[in-house]
A and B are shown apart, each in its own frame.
Chain A
Amino acid sequence: MSTNVQARRPEEAEAAAQLPLVNDDPAAQRFRVHRTAMTSPRFHRAEIERIFAKSWLYVGHESEIPQPGDFVRRPVGGRPIFMVRGVKTGNVNVFHNTCTHRGALVCRQESGNSKVFRCFYHAWTFDSEGQLKGVPGRDAYAGGVNFAELGLKRVARVESYRGFVFASFDPGIVDLPSYLADAKDYIDLVIDGCGGSVEMVRGTNQYSFGANWKLLVENSIDGYHAESTHDTYFKYLVSIGTDLHGGVSGRAIDLGNGHAVIEYSSPWGRPVAKWEPLFGEDARTEIDRLRSDLVARHGEDRAHTMAEVNRNMLIYPNLIINDIMAVTVRTFYPPAPGVVDVTAWELAPVNELPSLRERRLDSFLTFLGPGGFATPDDLEALESCQQGFTSGGVEWNDISRGMGRSPMANDEEQMRAFWRRWQHQMGAAADLAGAQ
């Protein structure tokens, strides 16, 4: 299942590091990451240039802008951009959020519907396809200004897969399907498991904390920490009648290009379609019906995988799709080496029955989010690591777990897949030889 479809392009084939920060030693079955990868401003700057400017980054979901003129604005890769459904074309347009005249933001609301985007500074006006439609006092300009070229600037590349809209600032990047590699199959499992059509639930989790963003990558796909860190969540499950017998078991898979997933069975229920006491007795028939629908449409095996199996997936470098007790979509960006800004949403089937939607919402916020029984403790763990790094004395993090066996969900192969790609993309910029 493990693949290596890294589409190398000429500009990436640059010098490798002499002493890489990622020390991958298959012979010794040891994998280490130098802690300066999490703390150094120099490596952080290189990440912004080499990773965030050269990857496909998640922008949003098409369901957020269903109607012509619908828009959302948000930072992507640390830059203010906005996504609008074109009134003429119906296309998803992703623009740099800056007036082509003197720079002000042209989209200044978080979301809404508009046919035009007017810069309030000098009232230059653009339509939803980005065309410059209005310039007050246009006759004052001489012939050298070509207004046709002064439309809103599109982000270099925009593509979507199953409703997930991605953008890249790199015009030469490989197409999105090639980039996603084997992660496509897992996105399919999530969407098809939700009945094929999904939407983002209203309400966003936007929080930040004091740790390096790569610690959140690791944590989001870490099966090893669940029992120890999230004891209070499991205790709650037991108190409402969940049988913890069987625990968490499964495997880790390298999906290519830095993407990775752990898939595993778990004690908690899944709104599609695994009942558990949290959902209440009256939800049983519903969930059984959803399950037989999945079997009818996708066959017994695939339906089983959709319904019973959890997936914590990383889409390199900064998108997490975790299909667990509910489905969360989480993206993040580091404004500094020791700070990460997280934005997370809940993904759900469209037209879900109200009783099931309520249970899905319940299931999500009990574990996930800044008010959940688990996420705050993850933040504490990651901040604790970041603080621990400053103690010095220990140079390397160990990420070798499971190297000597077929990797399990509570091993660290999925993190190694991320780190290998990270080192490859950073190249000579992630080099201890040049480190301070």
Chain B
Amino acid sequence: MTAIAPKKQAISRQQIEDFLYAEAALLDAWQLDDWLLLFDEDAKYEVPCNDAVDADPAHDLMLVDDNYTRLAARVDRLNSRRAHREYPHSRTNHQVFNVRVAHGSGDDVSVTASFTVWRFRMGRSSCYVGRYRYRLRRDHSGFRIAAKRAELDMTDLRSVGDVAIIL
């Protein structure tokens, strides 16, 4: 579409956006097993507390601090009928925008994006607003997630209650 073809190595924002939209679609469809396949086995999924968004999970309390094992357990839990807060599941809408590719060198890429995640369940609506920080790795088939961190902008969780869903 342009006269000058991009360099082979360059990663475009559009490629990143396509990947993030596909991830969001898996979450909204509750295809969590497929969603988990996006993660590398050394990956992390983190959600800091609202009053410490820069938290380091080695020293500070987090809302979520999953390595791959616990992330897989979280998926298992949410797939079961015994995660009572999410059975039946909420209807969610993960919206991703303001995507910025911070470091695009080589096959590793850092990405920040804004999100709103809407959650509807039993007549109640909740909205999570914040910033994603991703570390992605490019391989032959596309991208894989090395780290996903969701930093919430709300000052507390009073309006949403919990983070039982995956952001």
Which residue from A206, A240, A370, A381 sits with its C-beta under 8 Å from B51? Answer: A206
Query: Taking A205-B157, A365-B64, A365-B65 as contacts, is the C-beta distance between A232 and B77 under 8 angstroms?
Result: yes
Q: Complex: how many Å from CA A364 to CA B160?
A: 21
Query: Taking A205-B63, A370-B163 as contacts, is the C-beta distance between A232 and B82 under 8 angstroms?
Result: yes
Q: Complex: how many Å from CA A23 to CA B59?
A: 47
Is B103 among interface residues, defined by CB-CB distance under 8 A?
Answer: no
- For A377, the closest partner residue in chain B by CB is B84
Q: Which of A247-255, A353-361, A421-429 participates in binding chain B?
A: A353-361
Q: Complex: how many Å from CA A370 to CA B163?
A: 5
Which residues of chain A in 188-205 are interfacial with respect to chain B, using CB atoms and an 8 Å cutoff? 201-205
Q: Complex: how many Å from CA A229 to CA B164?
A: 15
Q: Which of B68-76, B91-99, B106-114 participates in binding chain A?
A: B68-76
Q: A361 contacts which chain B residues (CB < 8 A)? A: 57-62, 65
Is A159 among interface residues, defined by CB-CB distance under 8 A?
Answer: no
Question: Residue among A207, A236, A239, A373 with the most chain B CB within 10 A?
Answer: A207
Is B47 among interface residues, defined by CB-CB distance under 8 A?
Answer: yes
Is B140 among interface residues, defined by CB-CB distance under 8 A?
Answer: no
0 or 1 for each of A225-238: is its CB under 8 Å from B? (1 = yes)? 00001011001100
Q: Give chain A nearest CB distance to B51 CB in angstroms.
A: 5
0 or 1 for each of A246-288: is its CB under 8 Å from B? (1 = yes)? 0000000000000000000000000000000000000000000
Is B50 among interface residues, defined by CB-CB distance under 8 A?
Answer: yes
Q: Give chain A nearest CB distance to B134 CB in angstroms.
A: 19
- For A200, the closest partner residue in chain B by CB is B61
- For B161, the closest partner residue in chain A by CB is A209
Q: How many A-B residue pairs have CB under 8 A?
A: 121
Q: Give chain B nearest CB distance to A350 CB in angstroms.
A: 13
Q: A229 contacts which chain B residues (CB < 8 A)? A: 84
Q: Complex: how many Å from CA A380 to CA B162?
A: 10
Q: B59 contacts which chain A residues (CB < 8 A)? A: 201-202, 354, 357, 361
Is B8 among interface residues, defined by CB-CB distance under 8 A?
Answer: no
Q: Complex: how many Å from CA A208 to CA B82?
A: 22
Q: Give chain A nearest CB distance to B64 CB in angstroms.
A: 4
- How many B residues touch the partner, as a band? 35 or more
Question: Residue among B61, B84, B160 with the most chain A CB within 10 A?
Answer: B61
Q: Complex: how many Å from CA A204 to CA B84?
A: 24
Q: B84 contacts which chain A residues (CB < 8 A)? A: 229, 376-377, 380-381
Q: Complex: how many Å from CA A379 to CA B59?
A: 27
Q: Complex: how many Å from CA A366 to CA B82?
A: 16
- For A207, the closest partner residue in chain B by CB is B157
- For A343, the closest partner residue in chain B by CB is B156
Q: Give chain A nearest CB distance to B160 CB in angstroms.
A: 8
Which residue from A232, A240, A358 sits with its C-beta under 8 Å from B80? Answer: A232
Which residues of chain B in 106-160 are interfacial with respect to chain A, using CB atoms and an 8 Å cutoff? 156-160
Q: Complex: how many Å from CA A365 to CA B58?
A: 13
Is B55 among interface residues, defined by CB-CB distance under 8 A?
Answer: yes
Q: Complex: how many Å from CA A209 to CA B65?
A: 23
Q: A341 contacts which chain B residues (CB < 8 A)? A: 158
Taking a contact as CB atoms under 8 Å apart, the answer to whether A377 and B62 are in contact is no
Q: Complex: how many Å from CA A341 to CA B76?
A: 30
Which residues of chain A in 357-400 are interfacial with respect to chain B, using CB atoms and an 8 Å cutoff? 357-358, 361-362, 364-366, 369-371, 373, 375-377, 379-381
Taking a contact as CB atoms under 8 Å apart, the answer to whether A231 and B82 are in contact is yes
Q: Complex: how many Å from CA A357 to CA B65?
A: 14
Taking a contact as CB atoms under 8 Å apart, the answer to whether A203 and B51 are in contact is yes
Taking a contact as CB atoms under 8 Å apart, the answer to whether B164 and A369 are in contact is no
Is B100 among interface residues, defined by CB-CB distance under 8 A?
Answer: no
Q: A379 contacts which chain B residues (CB < 8 A)? A: 85, 161-162
Q: B160 contacts which chain A residues (CB < 8 A)? A: 207
Is A346 among interface residues, defined by CB-CB distance under 8 A?
Answer: yes
Query: Taking A232-B77, A371-B47 as contacts, is the C-beta distance between A207 and B161 under 8 angstroms?
Result: yes
Q: A301 contacts which chain B residues (CB < 8 A)? A: none
Query: Taking A201-B60, A202-B55, A203-B60 as contacts, is the C-beta distance between A371 and B156 under 8 angstroms?
Result: no
Query: Taking A202-B52, A377-B83 as contacts, is the C-beta distance between A207 and B61 under 8 angstroms?
Result: no
Q: Complex: how many Å from CA A48 to CA B150?
A: 37
Q: B156 contacts which chain A residues (CB < 8 A)? A: 206-207
- For B165, the closest partner residue in chain A by CB is A376
Is A139 among interface residues, defined by CB-CB distance under 8 A?
Answer: no
Q: B164 contacts which chain A residues (CB < 8 A)? A: 370-371, 376
Taking a contact as CB atoms under 8 Å apart, the answer to whether B83 and A203 are in contact is no
Q: Complex: how many Å from CA A362 to CA B60?
A: 10
Is A110 among interface residues, defined by CB-CB distance under 8 A?
Answer: yes
- For B167, the closest partner residue in chain A by CB is A371
Q: A358 contacts which chain B residues (CB < 8 A)? A: 57-58
Query: Taking A365-B63, A376-B164 as contacts, is the C-beta distance between A206 and B82 under 8 angstroms?
Result: no
23 A–B contacts from the bound complex (CB under 8 Å): A202-B55, A202-B61, A206-B157, A206-B158, A207-B157, A207-B160, A209-B161, A232-B80, A235-B76, A236-B76, A354-B58, A357-B58, A358-B57, A366-B70, A370-B161, A371-B47, A371-B63, A371-B163, A373-B77, A376-B83, A376-B161, A376-B164, A380-B84
Given A203-B60, A365-B61, A370-B164, 11 more A-B residue pairs with CB atoms under 8 Å apart are A110-B51, A204-B49, A204-B61, A208-B158, A209-B162, A361-B60, A365-B65, A370-B163, A373-B73, A377-B85, A380-B84
By Cβ-Cβ distance, the 5 closest A-B pairs, closest first, are A203-B61, A206-B156, A371-B63, A376-B85, A203-B49
